[in-house]
A and B are shown apart, each in its own frame.
Chain A
Amino acid sequence: MTIADSQPFIRPDGKEKVTGAGRYTADLNLTGQLYAKFRYADHSHARILSIDTAPAAALPGVFAVLTWRDVPAVLYGGYVQDRRLFAKEKVRWEGDVVAAVAARTPEIAAEAAGLIEIQYEVLPAQIDFEANAAAEAPLIHEQWAEYEADESVGLAGNILGHSSVVKGDADAAMAKAAIVVKSRYVADASQGAPIEPRAISAEWHGDKVTIWSSTQVPFAARSGVAHALDIAESQVRIIVPLLGGGFGSKCDFHFEAHIAALARATQRPVKLVFSRREEFLAPDHRREGMIIELETGTDPAGRLLARRGRLVLDKGAYCGEGGFFAQMAAMHACGPYKIDTINIDSYLNYSNSQPSGSVRAPTAPQACWALEQHMDEVATAVGIDPVELRRLNIIEEGDVGPTGQIFEAIGAKETLTAALEMIGYGQELPDDEAIGVACGWWPSFGSASGAYVKLNSDGSGTIITGAMESGTGAVMGLPLLAAQTLGMKPEDFSILYQDTDAGPWDMGSSGSQTTFNNGRAVIAAATEVRSKLLDMAAEELEAHRDDLVLAEGAVRVKGSPESHVTIAHLAGTGEPILGKGSGVVPDSPEVDASTCVGRLGLESFLAPQLMTQAVRVKIDRATGVVQVLEVAAAHDSGVIVNKIGADGQVYGGVLMGIGQALTEATVFDEEGRQRNPDLLHYKLQTASDAPEIQIRWIEIDTPNAGPNGSKGVGEPPSVPTPGAVGNAVAKLVGRHVDRLPMTAERVWNTLDAARAGTP
C-alpha cells in the first residue's frame, strides 16, 4: 500500500510559500552588509598579462577588491582539479571570475568591477568541442598533466574523460547482421534555469563563517569552501533558506568561497544576488552539448545483435562535478535493451565555453533522444512498428545488461504497455498529428545519509536531517516515513534541515536520492525512537514489550485497547528520546566490466528506474511549429511514497523535457559567448504550452529499493520526453530531425529536405 492512498499530505513548507512569508536567500539582509559583484573574463580564451585593481579600490564606497593573489593557491574540481576561484594565468570561458568587489551598494560594486584594468593576450576561442580532441589542437589547460585527477577518468590533453562500453565482438556481429542502420544526432547545450537566480550571503564570527546559499548541496559547498580557502570544514557552516528550484544547476560548489573571502577581507557581511543574465552566464553548470553517432545491427526479425557508437560531449572549460558524464552518456546510448554485442566510446572534451554540469538526469535526455529516434529508424529498416521493436528487445527480469548486469524484477515492459494504452496507440489521427514513443532508464544512487529523530515534551517529533529540499517535496515527505514507523501523524513532525551544523552529512538534492537514502535513515532513526518508547511503555504499563503496539499517538497493549499510554506522556517525562540512523546503503550490482574503460561506478545501475512516454503532437507544416497535445507517462519508480510529490515531478519533468525537445538551447557565438542569456530568447514552456499529462506508476517490488520499495522519482521524467517528441515529429515530417532542440526552423528545414528528397 502506498501511504498516499490513505492520507492527503500538505507540504510542511507550503503555508509560508503561499503567503509570501517564507524567506529565500535573496530575502535576507544582514546588518552592515556589503554587496558583491564579480568581474568576469572579457574573452573566452586569453592569457592574462596583468590585473590592476587600484582604480576600483580607489572608488569611494569600495571595501575590497580580490583577485587570485588574495586567496590560497588551490585548485578544485570533482574528478579533475582544474579550476581556481579567480583566474590566474588564463581565462578559459566568458564566465571565468577574474576579480570580486565588495562595496556599500550594488551599484558601486558594479561600477568598481568595471574599473579593474586587465591586459590580455587574446587566444582563439576553441568552441568546436569535437575538433578540440585532435592532436594538433592547442591545449586549453596547458598544465593538465600536473592536475590532480581521478585516474579512471582518462584525462589526456583536451580530452577530460573517455569511457567505453564493450561487450563481446560488436564488429563481427555487425558484419553478420541482416539489417544495419547508422545515425548521427547533435544536441545543443541547455540550462536548468530555476526561476530563482542564485544568491549568497556570508558573515564571519571569529574564525567561523556562516554562509547562506541557494545551493542544492550544502555539504559539498561546505567542503568546497574549506578546500578553496584552506580552512577546516568545522569553520564553515552552510545554511540554505528556502530554495527556489535547482534542477541540478545549483549542485556543486560555486561562489560560496568568493563571498566568504570578501566577507573576511572586509570584516563585514557580504551579499551576492545574481541577475537573470548572470544566472545564465556565470555558473559553471549547464546541460552539455553532445554529438551522438549510433550504429545498430539486427537479425531479420529485429533482435538487436550489435551496437556501435561514438559520443562526444562538450565539457566546457572546467570539470566541476561533471567528470562522470562520458560514462553516463555511454550507458544511455545502450538504453534499457538486450543487445548481444556493444562497442561504444564516449568522450568528454574541454572547450572555451561555459562548463557543463549536472542538470536533471545529466546526459540522459540528449542521449535518449538520439537513441530512441535511432530505434525508430531501425524499426523502419526492419519493417516493423517501432513499438514492436521495443517489445522485442526491452529488458526484463533475468536479462543481461550492457556490462553484464543481470536485472532483477523490473517494470520496463509494463511501462511500455501502460503508456500505449493511456495514449490510445494505433488510433486514427488527423494527418497533422502523430504519436511517438520512447523508453528510458536511470539509476538510483546509493549514498551515505543520516538523520536524527527526537520527540519533544509535548509529544511532537522533530526530524533533524542533512537532506536538502529543492522544491521536489522529497524532504517534505520524510515525516510520512517517521509517522508510519511511530504510529503518529505526519503533521506531528517538524523538520530541521538545510544547516550543515545540524544534520548529518548528505549528498544533497541531487541524483533523486533523498527518499532512497535519507528516507532509509529517517526510518532507522524512528525505529530507535520506537524501541525506546516500547521500553518505557512496557515499564509503565507493566506489560511485555512484544505485546505492545504503537498507533494513533499512543502505545497500547494488544487486545486490551484501554490499557495504553500516550506518546506525549512518555515524551513529557523528561527522559530524552532521540534516535539516530543511517540505514544500510545497498551496493551497486557486481559486474565484470573489465572490457570497459573510464569506469566511474556507473557500469551497473542500482535499482534502475524505467519509463516509457508516449506523446501526441500536432504540426503546422507551413511553419514547422510543433505542439505537444498529450503525454502519457508510465514510470517504474518502485513504490510511491508521496503521490502528490511524485506526480509533481512528472508534470514538471515532462514539461522541462518538452522545452528541451522544442525550444530550449543555449546558443554560443564563435567567441564562445552566450547569445541568448535571458528568458525572452531562452524559451521556457508556459502554462499555455503545457499539454495534458497522464501518469501511471508501475509499482513493482524491487530488490535493493529504498524505503517501502521506493526508487528515485525526480530525474527520470525528463529523460524520454525529447525522444518521444522526436519520433512523433519524424512520422509527420517523413524523416528524423537530427538537431536538438527541434525548433520550428529545424523542423521546417527537415520537412523541406524530405519533400525535395535531398539528404
Chain B
Amino acid sequence: MSVPASATLLHVVREQIGLTGSKEGCDDSECGACMMLLDGEPVNSCSYLAVQADGSAITTVEGLAPGDTLAPLQEAFLVAGGVQCGFCTPGMLISATRLLRDNPDPTTDEVRLELSGNLCRCTGYDGIVKAVMEVAARTAEKSAGD
C-alpha cells in the first residue's frame, strides 16, 4: 500500500487499514494509548512515521490472539478489574505483552515501572498490575510443572 510521507503509523493503521483498536489519546508520545509492536519492540505509533515502518512486522491489540480467542493477558485484565473505560487498554495490553515476553517473572515494581509509559485514568493501575502478575505466576507454575 502507499501512504502519505507525513502520515503517522497510527493514522495509517486506523484510517487506511481500518483497525481502530489502537487509540489516540494525545498525539505527542505521552499516553501510550497508540502503542504497537514494531518488529517486537513497542512504539508510540502517533509519533512514528508510517514510511519508517516499511517492511516491519506490526502487532496491534487486534493481533494479540487468533480469531475469537483471548490471550491470557486479555482474559486476566477482565477478571482482575484491569478494564474500566477501556481506552488505555489496547496500548496497555501491548506494553504488558512485551513486558512478559522479555521478563516472564517480573516483580510488581518492575511491572509498574515498565507500564509507566501507558497512562490510565480509571483503574489506578491496580487491576492492570494484578492481571500481569497473575499471568506471570501462571506461566511460572506451568513451566515448573513441565
A and B interact physically: yes
A728 to B31, CA, bound (A): 30
Q: CB distance A654 to B124 under 8 Å?
A: yes
- Cβ of B25 within 8 Å of any chain A Cβ, yes or no, is yes
Q: Which residues of A have CB within 8 Å of B126? A: 647-648, 651, 690, 693
Contact code string A462-473 (vs B, CB < 8 Å = 1, else 0): 000000001111
Q: Which of B24-47 contact A (CB under 8 A)?
A: 24-28, 30-31, 33
Q: In the bound complex, do residue B84 and residue A245 qualify as a contact, i.e. CB atoms below 8 Å apart? A: yes
Name B76's closest neighbour in chain A (CB-CB): A18
Which chain B residues numbered 98 to 123 have a C-beta less than 8 Å away from chain A?
109, 111-113, 115-123
Whether A679 pairs with B124 at a CB distance below 8 angstroms is: no
Nearest chain A CB to B108's CB is how many angstroms away?
Answer: 9
Interface residues of A in 1-30 (CB under 8 A from B): 8, 10-11, 13-15, 17-24, 26-27, 29
Number of interface residues of B (CB under 8 A): 55
Q: With contacts A20-B22, A471-B85, A678-B30 known, is A652 near B121, CB below 8 A?
A: yes
Contacts of B8 in A (CB 8 A): none
Q: Which of A200-208, A262-270, A281-289, A680-688 contacts B (4 or more CB under 8 A)?
A: A680-688
Measured CB to CB, the closest approach of chain A to B130, in angstroms, equals: 10
Interface locus among A131-139, A191-199, A427-435, A448-456? A191-199
In the bound assembly, the distance between CA atoms of A195 and B21 in angstroms comes to: 14
Shortest CB-to-CB span from A642 to chain B, Å, is: 10
Tell me which residues from 699 to 725 in chain A have a Cβ below 8 Å from any Cβ of chain B.
none
Number of A-B contacts (CB under 8 A): 171
Q: Can you report 29 residue pairs joining A to B where beta carbons are below 8 Å apart?
A: A11-B78, A11-B83, A14-B78, A15-B70, A17-B89, A18-B78, A18-B83, A19-B61, A19-B74, A21-B62, A24-B23, A29-B15, A193-B121, A195-B33, A195-B119, A242-B85, A242-B86, A247-B121, A276-B31, A471-B87, A471-B122, A644-B81, A648-B122, A648-B123, A648-B127, A655-B125, A687-B128, A688-B109, A690-B125
Within the complex, the shortest CB–CB distance from B73 to chain A, in Å, comes to 8
Interface mask (A226-254 → B, CB under 8 Å = 1, otherwise 0): 00000000000000001111110000000
Contact A244 B23 (CB under 8 A): yes
Are A652 and B111 in contact, with the CB atoms below 8 A? no
Interface pair B90/A20, CB less than 8 Å apart: yes
Residues of A373-391 at the interface with B, using a CB-CB cut-off of 8 Å, are none
B74 pairs with A651, CB closer than 8 A: no
Q: List the 6 closest A-B pairs by CB distance, nearest first.
A: A20-B21, A471-B85, A651-B124, A244-B87, A17-B86, A679-B30
Closest chain B residue, CB of each to CB of A695? B126
Does A20 lie within 8 Å of B27, measured CB to CB?
A: no
Residues of A within 8 A of B119 (CB): 195, 679, 684, 686
User: Cβ of B83 and Cβ of A693 under 8 Å apart?
Assistant: no
A18-B122 contact, Cβ under 8 Å, with A244-B23, A276-B28, A648-B84: no
Distance, CA A647 to CA B78, complexed state (A)? 14
Measured between beta carbons, the chain A residues less than 8 angstroms from B62 are: 19-21
Give the distance to chain B from A218, nearest Cβ to Cβ, in Å.
Answer: 16
**B87 contacts which of A21, A245, A678 (Cβ < 8 Å)?**
A245
Q: Does B129 contact A (CB under 8 A)?
A: yes
**A20-B22, A471-B122, A654-B124 are contacts. A14–B31 as well, Cβ < 8 Å?**
no
Tell me if B12 counts as interface (CB < 8 A to partner A). no
In the assembled complex, the Cα of A202 lies from the Cα of B28 at a distance in Å of 28
Contact yes or no, B84 A195, CB < 8 A = no
Q: Does A275 sit within 8 A of B, measured CB to CB? A: yes
Tell which of B62, B65, B83, B84 has the most Cβ of chain A within 10 Å. Answer: B84
Given A18-B78, A679-B25, 6 more A-B residue pairs with CB atoms under 8 Å apart are A19-B65, A196-B85, A242-B86, A245-B85, A680-B30, A687-B115
Q: With the chains together, A245 CA to B89 CA distance in Å?
A: 12
Q: Verify if B20 is at the interface (C-beta below 8 Å from A).
A: yes
Interface residues of B in 61-79 (CB under 8 A from A): 61-62, 64-65, 70, 74-75, 77-79
A195 near B88 with CB under 8 A, answer yes
Q: Is the CB of B123 within 8 A of A197?
A: no
CB distance from A27 to the nearest CB of B (A): 4
Q: What is the bound-complex CA distance between A719 and B28, given in angstroms?
A: 31
A606-633 to B contact mask, C-beta < 8 Å, 1/0: 0000000000000000000000000000
Q: What's the nearest-Cβ distance from chain A to residue B111, in Å?
A: 7
Q: Taking the complex as formed, is B51 at the interface, i.e. its CB lies under 8 A from any CB of chain A?
A: no
Complex: A684 Cα to B109 Cα, angstroms: 19
Asked whether any CB of chain B lies closer than 8 Å to the CB of A112, the reply is no
A557 close to B (CB within 8 Å)? no
Do A688 and B20 have beta carbons less than 8 Å apart? no
Contacts of B25 in A (CB 8 A): 195-197, 276, 679
Interface contact B123-A19, CB-CB below 8 Å? no
The smallest beta-carbon distance between A653 and chain B, in angstroms, is 8
Shortest CB distance B27–A (Å): 6
| Cβ A18 vs Cβ B85 within 8 A | no
Kindly state whether residue A290 has any CB partner on chain B within 8 Å. no
Q: B135 interface residue, CB < 8 Å from A? A: no
Q: Does A656 contact B (CB under 8 A)?
A: yes
Q: Assuming A10-B78, A20-B90, is B112 touching A471 (CB within 8 A)?
A: no
Q: Which of A22, A273, A471, A684 contacts B84 (CB 8 A)?
A: A471
Are the C-beta atoms of A652 and B70 separated by less than 8 Å?
A: no
Q: In the complex, which residues of chain A have a beta carbon less than 8 angstroms from the beta carbon of B26?
A: 276, 678-679
A18 engages B89 (CB within 8 Å): yes
How far apart sit A276 and B23, CA to CA, in the bound complex (Å)?
A: 12
Residue among B22, B70, B77, B118 making CB contact with A687, cutoff 8 Å: B118
Contact A14-B83, Cβ < 8 Å, known A19-B70, A678-B30 = yes
Q: Is the CB–CB distance between B21 and A693 below 8 Å?
A: no
Cβ contacts under 8 Å, A470 to chain B: 85
Question: Contact at B30–A243, with CB atoms within 8 Å?
Answer: no
* Closest Cβ neighbor of A631 among chain B residues: B124
| Cα A246 to Cα B88 with chains together (Å) | 13
Interchain nearest-CB distance for B145 vs A (Å):
25
Contacts of B61 in A (CB 8 A): 18-20
Q: Which residues of B contact A242 (CB under 8 A)?
A: 85-86
Contact partners of B83 in chain A: CB under 8 A = 11, 14, 17-18
CA distance A21 to B26 in the complex (A): 21
Q: Does residue B93 face the partner (Cβ distance < 8 Å to A)?
A: yes
Nearest-neighbour CB distance to chain A for B138, whole angstroms, equals: 17
Chain A residues whose C-beta falls within 8 Å of the C-beta of B49 in the assembled complex: none
